[in-house]
Amino acid sequence: MTTLNLDKPGPRLLIIDDDHLLRGMAANTLRHAGFDVCEAEDGFQGLAQVEEQGPFDLLLLDVMMPDLDGYEVCRRVRQARHGERVPVLMLTGLNDSASIELAYEAGATDFISKPINWTLLSHRVRYSVRAGLAIESAMRSRERLERAHYIANMGSWELVDDGARFLCSPELMRVLAASPAVVARAQPEEFLSLVADADRDTVRTLRQTALQEGKPYQLTFAIQRFDGVVRTVFEQAATVIDHNGRQVAVEGITQDITDRVEAEERIKRLAHYDVLTGLPNRQFFGELVAPALDRSTRLGTGCAMVYVDMDRFKSVNDAIGYAQGDTVLRLISARLKSSVRTSDLAMDGRAGQESMVSRVGANAFTMLLVDIDDDKQAALVADRLLSAIATPITVDGRELILTASIGMALYPRDAADAEGLTRCAEQAAYAAKSAGRAQYRFFDEAMNVRASARLARESDLRRAISEGQLRLHYQAKVDAADGAIVGAEALVRWQHPERGMVSPGEFIPLAEESGLILPLTDWVLETACADIRRRADLGLQPVPVSVNLASPSFADDGLRGQLEALLARYHLTPSCLVLEVTESLLMSDVERAVLRLQELRELGFRVSLDDFGTGYSSLGYLKRFPIDELKIDRSFVTDAWKGGRDGAIAVSVIALGRVFGLHVVAEGVETMAQSTFLLAHGCPHQQGYLFAKPMPADAFEAMLAAPPKQVI
Ligand code: C2E
Ligand code: MG
Ligand code: MG
Question: Residue 344 gets which letter from DSSP?
Answer: G
Which of 60-64, 216-220, 693-697, 705-709 shows the lowest mean pLDDT across its residues? 705-709
pLDDT, greater one: 664 or 275: 664
Tens-place pLDDT, residues 135-170: 888 888 888 888 888 888 899 999 988 888 888 888
* Cα 180-181-182 angle, rounded to 5 deg: 90
d(CA 152, CA 259): 11
Residue of the CA atom closest to atom 41 of ligand 1: 492
Which of 553-562, 616-625, 655-664 shows the lowest mean pLDDT across its residues? 616-625
Tens-place pLDDT, residues 511-550: 988 889 999 999 999 999 999 999 999 999 999 999 999 9
Nearest of 617, 625, 622 to residue 594 by alpha carbon: 625
φ and ψ at residue 57, rounded to 5 degrees: -85, -15
Q: Which ligand is nearest to the CA of 549?
A: 1
Tens-place pLDDT, residues 184-242: 777 888 889 999 999 999 999 999 999 888 889 999 999 999 999 999 999 999 998 88
Residue of the CA atom closest to atom 24 of ligand 1: 504
φ and ψ at residue 571, rounded to 5 degrees: 50, 60
Residue of the CA atom closest to atom 33 of ligand 1: 548
DSSP character string of 489-552: EEEEEEEETTTEEEPHHHHHHHHHHHTTHHHHHHHHHHHHHHHHHHHHHTTPPP--EEEE--HH
Contact indicator for 396, 320 with CB cutoff of 8 Å: yes
Contact indicator for 385, 404 with CB cutoff of 8 Å: yes
pLDDT of 428 above 70: yes
Does the predicted TM-score (pTM) go above 0.85?
no
Q: Where in the chain is the domain with CATH 3.30.450.20?
A: 153-262
d(CA 159, CA 207): 8
Q: Which ligand is nearest to the CA of 668?
A: 1
Nearest of 321, 286, 323, 322 to residue 305 by alpha carbon: 286
Q: Which ligand is nearest to the CA of 580?
A: 2
CA of residue 489 to ligand 1 center, whole Å: 9
Q: What pLDDT sits at residue 67?
A: 85
CA of residue 580 to ligand 2 center, whole Å: 6
Q: What pLDDT sits at residue 352?
A: 40
Residue of the CA atom closest to atom 10 of ligand 1: 694
Pocket of ligand 1 from Cβ distances under 6 Å = 475, 491-492, 503-505, 508, 524, 548, 550, 580, 610-611, 634, 667-670, 687-689, 694
CA of residue 491 to ligand 2 center, whole Å: 8
Q: Which ligand is nearest to the CA of 487?
A: 2
Residue of the CA atom closest to atom 42 of ligand 1: 548
Work out which ligand 1 atom sits closest to the CA atom of 504: 30
The percent of residues above 70 in pLDDT, for the chain, comes to 94
Residue of the CA atom closest to atom 2 of ligand 1: 548
d(CA 660, CA 638): 24
Contact indicator for 191, 166 with CB cutoff of 8 Å: yes
pLDDT of 615 above 80: no
Report the CATH fold assignment for 469-705: TIM Barrel (3.20.20)
Tens-place pLDDT, residues 465-483: 999 999 999 999 999 999 9
Tens-place pLDDT, residues 71-103: 999 999 999 888 888 999 998 875 677 778 888
Determine the straight-line distance between the first and last CA of the chain, rounded to whole angstroms.
Answer: 136
pLDDT of 614 above 80: no
CA of residue 486 to ligand 2 center, whole Å: 15
With the most atoms of ligand 1 within 8 angstroms of its CB, the residue from 491, 553, 690 to mutate is 491
Residue of the CA atom closest to atom 11 of ligand 1: 694
CA of residue 597 to ligand 2 center, whole Å: 17
Q: Which ligand is nearest to the CA of 505?
A: 1
Residue of the CA atom closest to atom 38 of ligand 1: 491
Secondary element (H or E) of residue 367: strand 364-370
Work out which ligand 1 atom sits closest to the CA atom of 580: 2
Nearest of 523, 520, 497 to residue 507 by alpha carbon: 520
Work out which ligand 1 atom sits closest to the CA atom of 690: 18
d(CA 293, CA 337): 20
* Strands 110-113, 88-92: pairing kind: parallel
CA of residue 608 to ligand 3 center, whole Å: 10
Average pLDDT estimate for 317-346: 80
Q: What pLDDT sits at residue 708?
A: 60
Q: Which ligand is nearest to the CA of 524?
A: 1
CA of residue 491 to ligand 1 center, whole Å: 6
Q: Which ligand is nearest to the CA of 475?
A: 1
Work out which ligand 1 atom sits closest to the CA atom of 553: 44
Name which CATH class applies to 274-347+354-443: alpha beta
CA of residue 490 to ligand 2 center, whole Å: 8
Secondary element (H or E) of residue 244: none
Secondary element (H or E) of residue 633: none
Q: What pLDDT sits at residue 8?
A: 56
CA of residue 631 to ligand 3 center, whole Å: 7
d(CA 591, CA 256): 67
Work out which ligand 1 atom sits closest to the CA atom of 511: 44
CA of residue 226 to ligand 3 center, whole Å: 82
Q: Where in the chain is the domain with CATH 3.40.50.2300?
A: 12-147
Residue of the CA atom closest to atom 21 of ligand 1: 668
pLDDT of 619 above 70: no
Average pLDDT estimate for 296-306: 92
* Strands 364-370, 303-310: pairing kind: antiparallel
Q: Which ligand is nearest to the CA of 611?
A: 3
- Report the DSSP beta bridge partners of residue 154: 255
CA of residue 489 to ligand 2 center, whole Å: 7
Q: What is the CATH number of domain 153-262?
A: 3.30.450.20
Residue of the CA atom closest to atom 46 of ligand 1: 548
Work out which ligand 1 atom sits closest to the CA atom of 550: 44
Residue of the CA atom closest to atom 6 of ligand 1: 668
CA of residue 562 to ligand 3 center, whole Å: 24
CA of residue 579 to ligand 1 center, whole Å: 14
Residue of the CA atom closest to atom 8 of ligand 1: 491
pLDDT of 9 above 80: no
CA of residue 315 to ligand 3 center, whole Å: 28
Q: What is the CATH number of domain 12-147?
A: 3.40.50.2300
Q: What pLDDT sits at residue 94?
A: 59
Work out which ligand 1 atom sits closest to the CA atom of 503: 26
Residue of the CA atom closest to atom 37 of ligand 1: 491
Three-class DSSP category at 642? coil
CA of residue 590 to ligand 1 center, whole Å: 24
Q: Where in the chain is the domain with CATH 3.30.70.270?
A: 274-347+354-443
With the most atoms of ligand 1 within 8 angstroms of its CB, the residue from 514, 517, 531, 548 to mutate is 548
